[in-house]
Amino acid sequence: MSEYSPLQKARYTYEPKLPTVLNDEIASIAVSLGEATESVADQDALKGLFPHTYGAPIARFVKGENANAGTVRKLGVILSGGQAPGGHNVIAGLFDALKKANPQSVLYGFKGGPSGIIDDDVMEITDEIMDAYRNTGGFDIIGSGRTKLETEEQFEKSLATCRKHGIDGVVVIGGDDSNTNGAVLAEWFKAKNAGITVVGCPKTIDGDLKNEHIETSFGFDTATKTYSELIGNIEKDANSAKKYWHFIKLMGRSASHIGLECALQTQPNIAIISEEVKEKNMSLEDVVNSIVDVVAARAAKGMDFGVALIPEGLIEFIPEVGALIAELNDLLAKKADDFAAQKTVDDQREWVNKELSKDSSYVFSSLPRGIQMQLLDDRDPHGNVQVSRIETEKLLIEVVGEKLDSLRRKGEYAGKFNALAHFFGYEGRCAFPSNFDADYCYGLGFSAFLLMSAGLTGYISNLANLHKSANQWVPGGVPLTMMMNMEQRHGEQKPVIRKALVELDGAPFKAFAAQRDKWAMETAYTFPGAIQYYGPSEVCDQPTETLKLEKA
């Protein structure tokens, strides 16, 4: 039996489509630079913090002479944070451009995420290794990690690693936090005259690293298509058996882009959008009531089944729970030793309840014990609660069930509420990248090389026009400082890339809001099916609904 599946073998030989300009010889691709740029906010503070890299111009690749193309280079690459389909292709695009420019050049991988550059855990990426990972999902070629690369000591160690291997450029493949750290590292290297450039690539299935220039982060396309296939399967099942309500929590730490895109693809009966909950200042009770209304209305028409999509980050967007979580984050950071000294789980709950403000203590006490414990779980390296571990879908099922029981007692509900909980996250993060992600990522890696070969640093690789076919995409780079503002982190003002939440006046949300009442009652499920890798272009090369609507 072959070691690889037929699809895996076929995918190894898939040739990603590049924008036309990138198909030329590297020596014939020049960089065209625009005007100086400004950050999205807090210009003075950011100018002060990034004196060497602030305000750089936007870069575009055009036909022309690239005098430094053939220089022998040694580059290093980091995969940072949660897996996203297409990461291997970013590395493949970088590798191929580097070798095409000069076969003597070398690409190193820093193993296990940012800790690889700090701890000198490095491997050379050879042809053989690269070929075994082309167009595949996962980050297993070099591994990923969530170490925050931000202290002076870590920068010194990173410099020592680069010097030891002769590395003159570092590519950081990551989300908003990792690219923020990349920007700080770029500035630090430049201030030290280290001669090492740093370029980022926009990664995250969450879709929240986007703005005027970054039209989408890679991985979002594949992950939402994978989840939508599964949701479509569940919708078929729900509509066949007609006896269950399915509550499906969808990954996406903070923003609801994944939930919104999946709703547009599958037309469920309910899809909660966290940003709307916050905007309307909805309490947990309001959210529950909005679900109960749909369940009861469907029951009144004899439909005791349905599908509800719940975004992973919802809990933090419900104002009273968000305030509780913010207090807990602070408390557990500032009094970590006191918390650790509590011997039992009940001691921990009691201690926390005493330390919290009156309002937050009330909210904490009103939550089921299981949720309380999940809220006290370890924080991530950025000090945030790990929302993927909080079983919001189960919390909602429990509270909706209680509310329906009380309506039943009053004679206002006569249906049956049998609900099942699902959580889709890890099912999609390492899927084979869709053609879109395979092409997009390859182009991002390729462009990252071109930015470095032009000596640019503190940039993020980008491709524009993504709703068009790949040959019409416009490749280039955007200075990272342009996407930054100052935000409060761990009690201090810090420079960070602004996270993109779902815009309630944006076309994707408006398209959803215009149809959700109909979807609630009409069982208008759509079944997107599996991602197609081979076949007609209108089936295999479609971008997300979000991109199509935003670009319409």
Catalytic residue annotation = 206
Please say which residue, 106 or 448, places its beta carbon nearer to ligand FBP. Answer: 448
**Residues forming a β-bridge with 197:** 169
- The encoded tokens of residue 428 equal 């999609």
What is d(CA 144, CA 83) in angstroms, rounded to the nearest whole number?
Answer: 7
Please say which residue, 288 or 328, places its beta carbon nearer to ligand FBP. Answer: 328
Q: Position of tokens 């569940």?
A: 234
What is d(CA 136, CA 534) in angstroms, rounded to the nearest whole number?
Answer: 15
Closest contact distance (angstroms) between CB of 205 and ligand FBP is: 5
**Range in contact with ligand FBP (rule: CB under 6 A) among 204-212, 347-355, 430-438, 540-548:** 204-212
Among 16, 19, 76, 81, binds ligand FBP (CB under 6 A): 81
Q: Is 252 near ligand FBP (CB under 6 A)?
A: yes
Helices (H), 343-434: 345-355, 358-366, 369-375, 392-409, 426-429
What is d(CA 143, CA 137) in angstroms, rounded to the nearest whole number?
Answer: 12
Q: Is 221 near ligand FBP (CB under 6 A)?
A: no
Order of strands, sheet of 270-271, starting from the edge strand that comes earlier in the sequence = 270-271, 306-311, 245-250, 419-424
Q: Is 283 near ligand FBP (CB under 6 A)?
A: no
Closest contact distance (angstroms) between CB of 111 and ligand FBP is: 17
SS3 assignment, position 109:
strand
**Range in contact with ligand FBP (rule: CB under 6 A) among 76-84, 95-103, 294-302, 448-456:** 76-84
Nearest to 309 by CA among 257, 369, 374, 375: 257
Closest contact distance (angstroms) between CB of 325 and ligand FBP is: 14
Q: Give residues with Cβ within 8 angstroms of 542, minimum separation 6.
A: 436, 548
Among 225, 246, 253, 467, binds ligand FBP (CB under 6 A): 253
Q: Is 206 near ligand FBP (CB under 6 A)?
A: yes
- The encoded tokens of residue 344 equal 């039992």
Closest contact distance (angstroms) between CB of 499 and ligand FBP is: 10
SS3 assignment, position 377:
coil
Kindly identify the residues of this chain, within the stretch 2-61, that bind ligand FBP according to CB under 6 A.
none
Among 21, 46, 77, 205, binds ligand FBP (CB under 6 A): 205
Q: Position of tokens 């980091």?
A: 78
Please say which residue, 170 or 251, places its beta carbon nearer to ligand FBP. Answer: 251
Among 361, 386, 465, 526, binds ligand FBP (CB under 6 A): 386
The DSSP output letter for 537 is H
Please say which residue, 306 or 311, places its beta carbon nearer to ligand FBP. Answer: 311
Closest contact distance (angstroms) between CB of 217 and ligand FBP is: 8
Residues near ligand FBP (CB under 6 A), total: 15
Binding mask of the shown chain, residues 159 to 198, with x at each position contacting ligand FBP by CB under 6 A: ----------------x-----------------------
Among 79, 122, 251, 332, binds ligand FBP (CB under 6 A): 251
Task: Note every long-range contact of 486-494, with CB atoms under 8 Å and residues 24 or more positions apart, other chains counting.
Answer: 486/41, 486/42, 486/45, 486/46, 489/382, 489/383, 490/333, 490/383, 491/330, 493/45
Among 94, 321, 387, 430, binds ligand FBP (CB under 6 A): 387
Nearest to 138 by CA among 79, 93, 96: 79
Please say which residue, 205 or 294, places its beta carbon nearer to ligand FBP. Answer: 205
Q: What single letter denotes the amino acid at residue 121?
A: D
The DSSP-derived string for 129-188 is: HHHTTTT--SSTTT--B-----SHHHHHHHHHHHHHHT--EEEEEE-HHHHHHHHHHHHH
Kindly identify the residues of this chain, within the stretch 455-514, that bind ligand FBP according to CB under 6 A.
none
What is d(CA 92, CA 172) in angstroms, rounded to the nearest whole number?
Answer: 14
Please say which residue, 97 or 172, places its beta carbon nearer to ligand FBP. Answer: 172
Strands 459-464 and 474-479: antiparallel
Please say which residue, 137 or 306, places its beta carbon nearer to ligand FBP. Answer: 137
Please say which residue, 138 or 252, places its beta carbon nearer to ligand FBP. Answer: 252
Closest contact distance (angstroms) between CB of 171 and ligand FBP is: 16
Helix H or strand E segment including 422: strand 419-424
Kindly identify the residues of this chain, within the stretch 83-142, that bind ligand FBP according to CB under 6 A.
84
Please say which residue, 59 or 376, places its beta carbon nearer to ligand FBP. Answer: 376
Kindly identify the residues of this chain, within the stretch 414-433, that bind ligand FBP according to CB under 6 A.
429
Closest contact distance (angstroms) between CB of 219 and ligand FBP is: 7
Nearest to 83 by CA among 547, 452, 437: 437
Among 16, 82, 87, 433, binds ligand FBP (CB under 6 A): 82
Binding mask of the shown chain, residues 294 to 333, with x at each position contacting ligand FBP by CB under 6 A: ------------------x---------------------
Q: Give residues with Cβ within 8 angstroms of 505, minimum separation 6.
A: none
Strands 59-63 and 474-479: antiparallel
**Range in contact with ligand FBP (rule: CB under 6 A) among 2-10, 66-74, 162-170, 202-210:** 202-210
Sign of CA dihedral 346, 351, 352, 358: positive
**In whole angstroms, how large is the CA radius of gyration of the chain?**
24
**Range in contact with ligand FBP (rule: CB under 6 A) among 316-324, 384-392, 469-477, 497-505:** 384-392
Q: Is 239 near ligand FBP (CB under 6 A)?
A: no
Closest contact distance (angstroms) between CB of 347 and ligand FBP is: 26
Closest contact distance (angstroms) between CB of 179 and ligand FBP is: 11
- The encoded tokens of residue 309 equal 């999509």
Interface residues with ligand FBP (CB under 6 A)?
81-82, 84, 175, 204-206, 251-253, 312, 386-388, 429
